[in-house]
Amino acid sequence: MGKIKLSEISTKAPKEFDKLDTKEKTEAIINELDDLQNLLYAEGKHSILIVIQGMDASGKDGVIRNVMGNMNPQGVNVQSYKAPTAEELSHDFLWRIHRHTPPKGMIQIFNRSHYEDILITRVHKWCDDATAKKRIDAINDFEKLLITHNNCHILKFYLHISPEEQQERLKERIKNPAKMWKYNEADFAEAKLWDIYMEMYEDCFNKCNNPVWTIVPADQNWYKEYLIAKQLSDLLKSLDMKFPGLKK
C-alpha cells in the first residue's frame, strides 16, 4: 500500500452517490446495527474498538450520535479524550487508554484517542521525534495486543474535512444557539496550524496502519455516516456470530 497523502484524497462524496438514496441506505444499516450489536453482546466472544480522529468540527460527535445512537446503551461505551490530567501524566501515555478498552461483547468508541499523543503533542513540539517514535512503536504493540489477546477488532476512522468546510462550521458555532456550547476560541488558533497537522496525521497513518485507517470524506455528513455505518455493519456480519443456546 502506498503512502497516504491527504491532499490527494477528496473530502466529498463521489459524484455517483445520490444524497437521498444514500441516506435511506444508512437508515437501513443503522436499524440493522441494533440487532448486530445485540448479537455481539449475547455471544460475548468478540469486542469492537472504534477510533475516531479528525480536526476540530470534522463531525466526531455527530457520527457517534447518528450512527451509534440507535444501539442498546448497555453494549456501547463512549470515551472522549481531552488534555491529560495530572494523575494521567504521572503514568505512561497509554495508561488512560488501556483502562477503557472494550471487554468481550462490547463496542467501545474513542472520541479522539491514544493517537493524540503523536499528533497535537508533535504539532506543538511537546514531544520530540525520538519520543514520538517510541510512542508509535508502543501504539502498534498495544493494538496488536488487543487483537491477539482479547479478540478485539479495531476500526480506525479519520474524518477528512476540508479547511474551508471547517471554517464554515467553526463560524456556525458563533451564530447557532444550539452549537454555541461547542465554541472554543482556541479552535481557530489550531486551524492555523493546518499544514503541520496534516503532516503529523499522514505520518501517523503511514506508521500505524495495521489495522488500517479509513480516510472518510467528511464535508457531507450524509456520506460520512454512510461509510462508517457500513464498515461497522460489514465487520459485525463477518464475525459469523451466533446466539448461545440454553445454559446447561
Cell of 23: 441516506
> And the C-alpha cell for 135?
510512542
Give the tens place of pLDDT for each residue, 30-72. Answer: 999 999 999 999 999 999 999 999 999 999 999 999 999 999 9
What mean pLDDT comes out for the span 142-165? Answer: 97
Q: How far apart are CA 69 and CA 89, in angstroms?
A: 32
At position 164, the amino acid (one-letter code) is E
Model pLDDT, residue 1: 52
Q: What is the pLDDT of residue 2?
A: 67
86-134 pLDDT tens trace: 999 999 999 999 999 999 999 999 999 999 999 999 999 999 999 999 9
Residue in this structure with the C-alpha cell 441516506, named with its chain if needed = 23
For the chain, give every domain's residue range. 42-236
Please tell me the distance from the alpha carbon of residue 196 to that of residue 124, in angstroms, as a whole number. Answer: 9
Q: What is the pLDDT of residue 247?
A: 78
Q: Say if CB 169 and CB 97 are below 8 A apart.
A: no
- CA dist 178 and 90 (Å) reads 37
Helix (H) or strand (E) holding 156: strand 152-160
3-state secondary structure of 90: coil
Sheet holding 47-54, edge to edge: 76-80, 107-111, 47-54, 152-160, 213-217
Using alpha carbons only, give the angle 17, 21, 27 rounded to the nearest 5 degrees.
120
CA end-to-end span of the chain: 49
Whole-number Cα distances in Å, 67 to 34, 118, 166, 200, 213: 10, 27, 21, 28, 18
C-alpha cell recorded at residue 91: 503514568
Q: Is 74 exposed, middle or buried (0-12, 13-18, 19+ CB in 10 A)?
A: exposed
Fold of 42-236: Rossmann fold (3.40.50)
What type of residue is 168?
E
Percentage of the chain exceeding pLDDT 90: 92
